[in-house]
């Protein structure tokens, strides 16, 4: 079974081919970061244009790397949402054209299901499991009883973790995307500034990061008014300590409550060194629990994860027709019922 995955939900144009759901035979990602950097964020219209230019190059490169022809493909899996509508449409239309021209089944995939299934490329999933999803647009704890069954047990009420990273980075004058820059600075500084942690109500697995972001902005502002120079390294270290404290503590509470066999880390913020280290020290030696953390290249947006999630849908007999449309607000929980 060979699945071609296509991902264009944001600013990465990606194509990948996965064998039997778990083995990467080709993985190509064209990033647009350089084009968006000077605007300090992703410009949707520019993203769509780049996707259109890059798509053919990227999937042809993937086919070449895999040394396959279209007749060898079992299905084409493409991100149908959530994401930028114009960006999603470029990938969906390319996937439809290929599926129609070569008579290959088409499968629409949820982008966050993809982030979660990146883990299956590292380790077979063991149910029940819990996934900590931390990305540019999402922060949630997802409980899974079996393949394709997603229960969101907690999510952010405001900003996503990645969004908070990018906004704090911007305040510190760091380039877009700010996550990796804050991560690097944090390791050079001290978490000496007292910043809030949003625990929310007792037993809640929801998150909130906008208060933390405002606290960082206010702290910088107040210090400046008093003529005090705060070291950006200490600001980064203090911010990162607060984010990691809340993520790891809530994840630990959920692991205990749901008695899961495996804990997965997913999404772009999963590339964060501080978070990876904190999760490893908390969970790697727990008896009866497998901790799985994908390598950095499978944490940020890629198409291998889309093909991996598509592979399970393919086995379940799920197919999309040529009316498949972009769904920018697609929900993970409703998606499982298709």
Q: Provide the mask over 284-303, with x wherever binding to Fe ion is found by CB under 5 A and - wherever it is not.
A: -----------------x--
Round to whole Å and give the CA distance between 313 and 193. 47
| Residue 166 in contact with Fe ion, rule: CB under 5 A | no
Judged by beta carbon, residue 198 or residue 270, the one nearer Mg ion is 270
Q: Provide the mask over 102-121, with x wherever binding to ligand ATP is found by CB under 6 A and - wherever it is not.
A: ---------x---x------
| Residue 166 in contact with Mg ion, rule: CB under 5 A | no
Sheet holding 2-7, edge to edge: 23-31, 12-19, 2-7, 75-81, 106-110
Helix (H), strand (E) at residue 91: helix 85-102
Strands 151-155, 106-110: pairing kind:
unpaired
Q: Which two tokens stand for residue 113?
A: 């299901």
Is 152 annotated as contributing to ligand binding? no
Q: Provide the mask over 6-45, with x wherever binding to ligand ATP is found by CB under 6 A and - wherever it is not.
A: ---xx-----------------------------------
Sheet holding 129-134, edge to edge: 151-155, 139-144, 129-134, 262-266, 290-292
Judged by beta carbon, residue 136 or residue 310, the one nearer ligand ATP is 136
Judged by beta carbon, residue 198 or residue 269, the one nearer ligand ATP is 269
* Those residues with Cβ within 8 angstroms of residue 112's Cβ, 6 or more apart along the chain or in another chain: 82, 133, 135, 138, 140, 142, 266, 267, 332
| Residue 10 in contact with Mg ion, rule: CB under 5 A | yes
| Residue 294 in contact with ligand ATP, rule: CB under 6 A | no
| Residue 261 burial (CB count, 10 A) | 14
| Residue 301 in contact with Mg ion, rule: CB under 5 A | yes
| Residue 135 in contact with Fe ion, rule: CB under 5 A | yes
- Minimum distance of ligand ATP from residue 1's CB (angstroms): 26
| Residue 178 in contact with ligand ATP, rule: CB under 6 A | yes
Torsion angle of C-alpha atoms 4, 13, 44, 306, degrees rounded to 10: 40
| Interface with Fe ion: number of residues (CB under 5 A) | 2
Is 115 annotated as contributing to ligand binding? yes
- Minimum distance of Fe ion from residue 109's CB (angstroms): 12
| Residue 246 in contact with ligand ATP, rule: CB under 6 A | no
| Interface with Mg ion: number of residues (CB under 5 A) | 3
179 touches, from ligand ATP, Mg ion, Fe ion, none (C-beta below 5 to 8 Å by class): ligand ATP
Cis? peptide before 177, omega within 30° of 0: yes
Round to whole Å and give the CA distance between 137 and 269. 10
Helix axes 273-283, 232-258, angle to 10 degrees: 40
Round to whole Å and give the CA distance between 265 and 293. 5
Binding site for Fe ion (CB under 5 A): 135, 301
Binding site for ligand ATP (CB under 6 A): 9-10, 82-83, 111, 115, 135-138, 162, 165-166, 177-180, 183, 267-269, 271-272, 300-301
- Binding site per annotation, positions: 111, 115, 133-137, 166, 179, 183, 272, 301
């Amino acid at each position: 079974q060979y699945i071609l995955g296509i991902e264009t939900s944001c600013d990465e144009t990606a194509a990948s081919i996965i064998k039997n759901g778990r083995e990467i035979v080709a993985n190509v990602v064209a990033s647009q970061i350089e084009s968006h950097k000077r605007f300090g964020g992703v410009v949707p219209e520019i993203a769509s244009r780049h996707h259109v230019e890059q798509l053919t190059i990227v999937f042809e490169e993937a086919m070449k790397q895999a040394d396959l022809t279209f007749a060898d493909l079992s299905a084409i899996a493409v991100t149908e949402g959530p994401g930028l509508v114009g960006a999603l449409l470029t990938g969906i239309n390319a996937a439809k054209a290929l599926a129609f021209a070569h008579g290959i089944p088409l499968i629409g995939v949820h982008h966050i299901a993809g982030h979660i299934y990146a883990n299956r490329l590292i380790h077979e999933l063991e149910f029940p499991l819990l996934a900590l999803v931390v990305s540019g647009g999402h922060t949630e704890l997802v409980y899974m009883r079996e393949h394709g069954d997603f229960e969101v047990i907690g999510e952010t009420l405001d900003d996503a973790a990645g969004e908070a990273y990018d906004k704090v980075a911007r305040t510190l004058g760091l380039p877009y995307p700010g996550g990796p820059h804050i991560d690097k600075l944090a390791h050079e500084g001290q978490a000496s500034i007292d910043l809030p942690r949003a625990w929310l109500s007792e037993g809640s697995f929801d998150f909130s990061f906008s208060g933390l972001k405002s606290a960082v902005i206010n702290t910088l502002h107040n210090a400046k008014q008093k003529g005090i120079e705060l070291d950006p390294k200490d600001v980064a270290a203090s911010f990162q300590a607060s984010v990691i404290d809340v993520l790891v503590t809530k994840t630990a509470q959920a692991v205990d409550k749901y008695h899961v066999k495996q804990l997965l880390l997913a999404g772009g913020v999963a590339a964060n060194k501080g978070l990876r280290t904190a999760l490893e020290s908390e969970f790697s030696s727990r008896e009866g629990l497998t901790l799985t953390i994908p390598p950095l290249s499978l944490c940020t947006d890629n198409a291998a994860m889309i093909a991996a999630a598509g592979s399970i849908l393919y086995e379940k007999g799920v197919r999309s027709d040529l009316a498949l449309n972009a769904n920018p607000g697609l929900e993970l929980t409703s998606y499982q019922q298709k």
